[in-house]
Structures are given as structure tokens and as C-alpha cells.
Amino acid sequence: MKGDYQELVDEISALLAVPATLENRDFGLIAFAHDSGSEFDETTLDPVRTRSILTRKSTPAVRAWFEGFGIARATGPVRIPAAPDAGVFRDRICLPVRHRGIVLGYVWLLDATPGPTEEQLAAAMEVTARIGTLLADEERAGADLSREFRAVLTAEGGWQYDMAVSALRAALGGGEADGLHAVVCVTPWTEADAPSSRSLPGTAALCTVRLGAGMHPVAGTAADAARAGESEGAGTASGTRANGPAGDGTRAGQPGGGPRGAASITPAADGAPDTYALAVLVRLRSADALSPVLTAADRLRDSAAAGRAAAGVAVPRRGLAELNTAWLEATSAARAAQAQPKLGPVAQWADIGPYRMLTALPEDTAHDPVVRELLDLSHAELARTAEVFLDCAGQASRTAAALGIHRQTLYYRLSRVEQLTGLDLAEGEDRLLLHMALKAARL
């Protein structure tokens, strides 16, 4: 769908010979175009337009200024004067994008003298009607399929899973269901409702999923459905918070990266509360062109949990039969991104290395007793030293440089690690056990 929006915005830009941007009704950027036939200068990209393109959103002051001219109620072009105090330095024309009387977005044009004629603007409004149809279709699809999508991700397997996949397939339609998709997990997700797919072109379905210990999906119940704030055919997020414990997806002492910025490791707390994740099924045209799914993941992560969220992306697949496997890959990648910041904040399952195996371990076997004493807070520096040493393939010079310490200090710390763990760091299998135990502790 992203390509469809881009083509329509390009059509408007060419029709009016002015730059054009398309935003959803929450002022999130969907597409932009600069007409190749118009003269370009530095004033074309005023601060508002630049911010919209680079950050894909507008400031509250800009939004308030524009909405003050009644653009949400308008049925035709609205001319809006500049407002330097709000950061708006150029006059604009807003073309409201509507479908069946409901505004779904806006096309923005930089006004000029003499500017577009009334006939040109009327022709452009006909194009916005086609954009409105696309936005309505995507919004309806993303909202209406949340129940079916969640049922697939939380099914226990066997006939229950097969029935859930069949229901989702029927809702999507055979052609779309058989297409290429990628699954995204964004967590922690503190909103009870999934966002509308209108802001995510290319989204086939999305939903919130409650995750238990180890980030495993919890089977859905009537109470969960009520907590998730579901409503039949809901097209927008209500903003209701979950009644149950949402959690922020992090634990005290969340570790940093490896040799670059490694931080102390603390063991996971027992009985950690459930958290929520947003699951997104994104259409792809090619397994090698992942920009739509990566863009969606990054935009959602930025809007979730005050910027503390991580996102994981599964390997693209055709059809729906392996959605359960794809969801496990996506949640594993999100866990890895949270545990090891150098992998994220958006991590692909194919790139998370040993975490592909570590995230598959049952919760009660992931923490080996060999590191129990080493992970005490009083030994945080030793744990960090051991992990960096193993990340550096046991090379003392690299490790000392990464930690900024003298080699003799490094050797002393490593001897203390051996005393605490009972391991011999000259033995390959002992190194492997310690390395994996330290990485698992991050999860």
C-alpha cells in the first residue's frame, strides 16, 4: 500500500506543480513528493515540513494552529496563513482526505502566488478521495482483524491453531493471505488498544498480546479481551490503559552493550509481572525489501512506553501457516534487543546470533547456578569484565582496552571470576558455559 499512497501523492504534486505531503489525521507522515517540474529552493523545506519528513510527526503547537482553521470539518481546500510563533513560516493549503464523511488524513501543499487554480484544486480533491478509500480499507482491515490475529498468536497448537489460522485467512482473503508477510513484536506496549493501521501503510493486521514470564504469549480469555479494550469494528485507539499489570518490560540494572558500553548484569526477578506487546503483520513485496516493516517497527517503538520499547522482526514468510513460528522469532528478537542494546532498538531474528537459542530456553533452565554468586550486585564489575573478556574472544589486550584497565587488573579480576564460579577460563567448554550463562542472565 505504501507504493499506492506514494503514487497518489506524486500525482497531486505533478498536477499542481508544488510539493505535497500526505499525513494521517494524527499528523503522522505517510508519503511526500517534490514535483520535479517545480523550482526548488531552500524555502521549500521550511522547519515544519522538514520536521514532518525527518521525524514523521508534527509538534503540538503546529497541530493546534492547523486544527484551529477547522481542517477536521472541512470538505474542501483550506488556506492557512503562516504563523512564525508556531514555527509555521510558509502559507499552506490543506486538502482534507475524507471517506464517507469522516476525515482520515490531510494532503499539505505549500501555498504561493499565484498558486493553484480552483480547477486544479478540484482535480486534486478527486485524488484525495481515492487516498481516503485506501486509508479506510487499511483502517478497517487492521481494526477488524485484531481478534482473529490475536487468536492465532495465543492458540495452544493443534486443531485450535489450525482453526485460528483458517479464520484469519478467511478474513484476509485468499490472495492477501497467501502473500509475503513479516511479523513484528513491539514491547513493552503500555496502551491497551492497538493503534489504527491508518498510520501504518502496508499493515495487514495488528493486535495487543499479553505476555507472561519469558515473553511467551498468554492464552486469551474473556477477561483479557475486556482488558485489551476490544470493540467490534473499532477503527481507532481509545487510549484506555490496561487494567492488569502492564510492566515496562525492563528490570533493575538492565544491561548495556558488550565491549562498547557494557553494564552490570542483574538476575531476573521471580514473579515478574506480565507485560503487553503489540503484534503487527506487515505486507511485503519482496523478502529483500524490508524497509516497510523496519519503518513500521521503528515508528511504533518511538511511540511506545516513553521510548523504552524494543522491536523484533521475524524472517519474512509466504502465507499464514507459520505465523506461530514467526511470532516466536519476533518476540525473541525483541527480547534480544532489550537485553543487548547494540542489537537494537529494532532487531531482526536473523541477526541476534546466540540469542536465537537462548530465548528458546524454558524460563526455569535459562539461569545456570554457575553464575549465581557472580551476578550478585557486589560483583557487578567482575561480571562485566568476564562478559567483555568472552565477547573479545579471550584476547587480553582487546579486553583491557575495551574496559580501559591495565592487563594486570584484568588478570586479577578474571582470577576472582574463576574463584566465584569454579570454572577454568583456560578451558573452552567452561568459557562457553560462562558466556551463555551471562548472556542468558540479560534476558
| pLDDT tens, residue by residue, 191-232 | 555 665 545 667 888 888 888 654 555 554 333 433 333 333
Q: Count how many domains the chain has.
A: 3
Here the CATH number for the domain that contains residue 97 is 3.30.450.40
Answer yes or no: is 62 within a domain.
Answer: yes
27 and 135 in a single domain? The answer is: yes
CA distance 324 to 157: 9
Whether the CB-CB separation of 343 and 352 falls below 8 Å is answered with yes
Whether residues 325 and 421 share a domain: the answer is: no
CB 377: neighbour CB atoms within 10 A?
12
Predicted confidence (pLDDT) at residue 442 exceeds the cutoff of 60: yes
The pLDDT of 98-116, averaged and rounded, is 86
The pLDDT of residue 177:
85
Domain boundary among 111, 141, 171: 141
Q: Is 339 helix (H, G, I), strand (E, B) or coil?
A: helix
Residues 276, 215: Cα–Cα separation, whole Å: 9
Confirm if 15 and 43 have CB atoms less than 8 A apart: no
| Residue carrying C-alpha cell 525492563 | 250
Helix axes of 407-421 and 380-391: crossing angle, nearest 10 degrees: 110
- Structural domain ending residue among the three candidates 93, 119, 141: 141
The answer to whether position 364 is within a domain reads no
CA atoms of 119 and 83, how far apart (whole Å): 27
pLDDT at 274: 63
Q: How confident is the model at residue 24 (pLDDT cuts 50, 70, 90)?
A: confident
More confident residue, 87 or 426: 426
Question: pLDDT, tens digit, for every residue of 235-269?
Answer: 333 333 333 323 333 333 333 333 333 444 544 44
Instruction: Write down the pTM of the prediction.
Output: 0.55
Does one domain contain both 35 and 136?
yes
Say yes or no: 19 and 127 in one domain.
yes
Q: Do both 47 and 175 map to the same domain? A: no
* Full residue range of the structural domain in which residue 190 is found: 145-358
Residues 225 and 271 in one domain: yes
In a domain, 363, yes or no: no
| CATH code (residue 418) | 1.10.10.2840
Burial status of residue 199 (CB atoms within 10 A of its CB: 0-12, 13-18, 19 or more):
buried
Kindly indicate the confidence band of residue 48, based on its pLDDT and cuts at 50, 70 and 90: low
Average pLDDT (369-384) is 89
Look at residue 334 and tell me if it is in a domain.
Answer: yes
